[in-house]
Amino acid sequence: MTPDTLDATFAALADSTRRAILARLATGDATVTELAEPFAMSLPAISKHLKVLERAGLIARAREAQFRPCRLEVGPLKDAGAWVERYRQMWEERFDRLDGYLRDLQQQDAARSRKPARTRKKRGLS
């Protein structure tokens, strides 16, 4: 997936109406009129949202049918989710290592405190 495609996917998802439309389409195909029903919006306004979703590859619309029902395309959504998940995983691993390292530092510190006879090395902790 290219950064440009990702841009389009995220831009399309950054709107609550469009997310609601996608959630509706997840339950089955629907026409523009059906999609407009839950929203206090004109058909042209809904059509605009659908165009954004279509350009982002998140939905597809039948070309020949009279009412051109919309269908959800899950590919880009899954890619976007996987992409954020990779970022999260990388930082989770990194912070887990930091977590373990902090535990080690504190254990070393505690061990030093238990041996007051020895010369204590200055930690420089503020």
Partner 1 sequence: MMTAKERLIVTLPSDNEIHMERTFDAPRALVFEALTRPEHVAKWWGCGGGVEQLAVCEIDLRVGGGYRYVIRKAGGQEYPFKGVYREIAAPTRLVYTQIYDVDPFKMHEALVTTTFDEHNGRTTLREMTWCGSKAVRDGMLQSGMEQGAAKSLDALAELLETLR
DSSP E strand boundaries for 8-120: 59-61, 70-72
**Site size toward partner 1, by CB under 8 A:** 42
Calpha distance 100→125 (Å, rounded): 19
If 0-12 CB within 10 Å is exposed, 13-18 middle and 19+ buried, where does residue 2 land?
exposed
Task: Output 113 or 126, the one with its CB closest to partner 1.
Answer: 126
Query: If DSSP codes are grouped into helix, strand and coil, which group holds residue 59?
Result: strand
Kindly state the smallest distance separating residue 73's Cβ from partner 1, in Å: 11
Calpha distance 126→39 (Å, rounded): 56
Residue 92 lies near partner 1 (rule: CB under 8 A): yes
Q: Cα 48 from chain centroid?
A: 23
Q: In the window 47-76, what residues touch partner 1 (CB under 8 A)?
A: 72, 74
Q: Which residue has the tokens 């998940």?
A: 85
Kindly state the smallest distance separating residue 116's Cβ from partner 1, in Å: 21
Task: Output 37 or 92, the one with its CB closest to partner 1.
Answer: 92
Residue 105 lies near partner 1 (rule: CB under 8 A): yes
DSSP 14: T
Please select the residue that binds partner 1; options are 38, 99, 108, 120, rule is CB under 8 A. 99
* Residues found near partner 1 in the complex (CB under 8 A): 3, 6-7, 10-11, 13-16, 19, 22-23, 26, 72, 74, 77-78, 80-81, 83-84, 86-88, 90-99, 101-103, 105-106, 124-126
